[in-house]
Structure formats: structure tokens, C-alpha cells
Amino acid sequence: MTVVPAALPTLLVLDADPLPRLGRLTGRARVLHTDEASLAARLPAADVLLVWDFTSHAVRAAWPGEGPRPRWVHTASAGVDHLLCPELAASDTVVTNARGIFDEPIAEYVAALILAMAKDLPRSWELQQRGEWRHRESARVSGTRAVVVGSGPIGRAIARTLKALGMTTAVVGRVPRTGIHGPQDLDRLLARADWVIAAAPLTEQTYGMFDTRRFGVMQPSARFVNVGRGPLVVEDALVRALERRWIAGAALDVLTTEPLAADSPLWHVPGLLISPHMSGDTVGWRDELGTQFVELFERWAAGRPLKNVVDKQRGYVPGH
């Protein structure tokens, strides 16, 4: 049995299957694994916490307990709302996220959803299952207007991809700057948009931002896509907007409650496409997340500044 020197930093991993590949850290860190039930007991011994199970809210519950806390927490996700609690936000612990891994995959997924809705592909599949030949006309996306709500790397990647399809895009962020609209422009832009894409982080300011009023502002021909966080949307308001045809359609890759129960009425809402939080998950994505963490760990161990540092008061990585 290999004896690990006590001087090595202790890395605690909140596990999810499959486990991260951390072989490069052999002999450089004392790696411990934990589940949700034992997280609170093991936190005081950790120098670093890797939240590999990024669907878990266990960190929020365990962090306020007694004893020392890790100096650095990394989550293998873009969002950090699942782990931030007042005690963690007020501490001197550094929090980092997986910024940069999901940008292009999510942008591709959004483009796929838009094309699927514009070309009526779900209906074509339904008709094929019935063996029914029914010619229809579809819509063009080139020349249409899209509003992307969220000006981080994911939102900007979405805007670039939609521009490549010939769409006119506007990006809305927390703070207006060159090429980015501020929140005060959102309603005006929504009123003219053919496509509205939610890609914002979940914060106090964005929670429930797409409500009855916002769906009422949109055109009857508009379609809505959420690839940000589920609670950005008041789901009952979206259902009413679709049933009353205030908007033409919607697609949700993230929902307030995940996984969505089999008996949820959302499955059967006319004009709504649902996917199981998979827009950023392409083949090999877990390996990319593991590699990113190892590279960050090497920077941390060498005393170099970490990348992807979250502003714990804002709830995201401040950026360009």
C-alpha cells in the first residue's frame, strides 16, 4: 500500500458516476471521495472540494456546519446556484466553475432547436410514425431576429452561431457595454423578437424573469428556448402563454424540477419541446471537465492565480 505524505493537500470529491479521472494528481494530492450523506463530516479535512455531482445541493446544506472549510471549491458545471449559500458567499473560499466547456455545444443545440421548430421537424416525425404524407410549408430562419438573454461565454457563443444562420441577434446582459444591451432594453427587444433564448445564470435578479408579463410582451409568432437554468422561467406562465397562443412555441432543456416526473403535465403541453438537461453534454464532456479541473489544480498547487473565479455575490464569473 502506498503511503501518502500528510503534507499533501487533501482533495475531497463529491462523487457522481462515472468518477473523474484524476490520475495526474497521483502523489500530488490526497484524494478522498464522499457522497451527500457524509459530506458535512468530511468537509473540515479538505483543502479543496471538487463538486463532481453538480446536480447535488448537498454543499448548500453542509457548508454552514462546524470546523474548517476548504480554501477552494470547484464545480463541474457552469452554474453555481446549486452550491452557493450565504455562509460560502461570505467566506474567503475561492469558487471556480467549468466556464468554457459548454459554450459551443450549447450554441449548437440551440441552433438545432431553432431549426427543428422552424422546419416543423417534430411534426414530420409524428406524421412518419402514422405513415401520413402531408406536405407543409416551413419557415426560414435567415433574416429573423433573436434575443439572447445572458452575455456570458454561452450567450455569446449562441449569438455567433445564430448569426452564421443569417439571423439578426441582440444580446442582453446585466450591464450594458459595447455590443451588449442592458436589462432596460429587454422588453423592447422581446417585443420584436422571433426567437428568445434564455442563457442567463440564476441569481436573485434573474429568478422568474420570464413570467406572464414577459411572455405577454412577445409576438404571437415568437418562440422561446431556455438553456440557462430552470427557475429563470415561471413554468405555469409559459404553459398559459402556449395554451393561449401568446407565443408560437417553446423548448426547455432545463426545468425547475429535474428530473421531470413522468406524470408532469409539461410533457403534454402543445408546442413545447422538452429535453433532459443535455444541451451541453457532447461525447467526451466528462473527460473535458476532468482535464479542466486537473489543470486548475496544478495552477492552485503552484500558487498561480486560478481561472474561472466566480464572483460569489453576483453568482457568476465576471467577464468580457
Positions annotated as catalytic residues are 229, 258, 277
Yes or no: say if 251 and 273 are a contact pair by the CB < 8 Å rule: yes
Question: Residues 28-60, buried b or exposed e (16+ Cβ, 10 A)?
Answer: bbbbeebeeeebbebbeebbbbbbbbbebebbb
What amino acid is encoded at 124 in this protein?
A: S
| Omega within 30 of 0 (cis) for the link into 183 | no
Nearest to 181 by CA among 208, 224, 146, 213: 146
C-beta atoms surrounding 176 within 10 Å? 14
Question: Residues 256-283, buried b or exposed e (16+ Cβ, 10 A)?
Answer: eeeebeeeeebeebebbbeeebebbeee
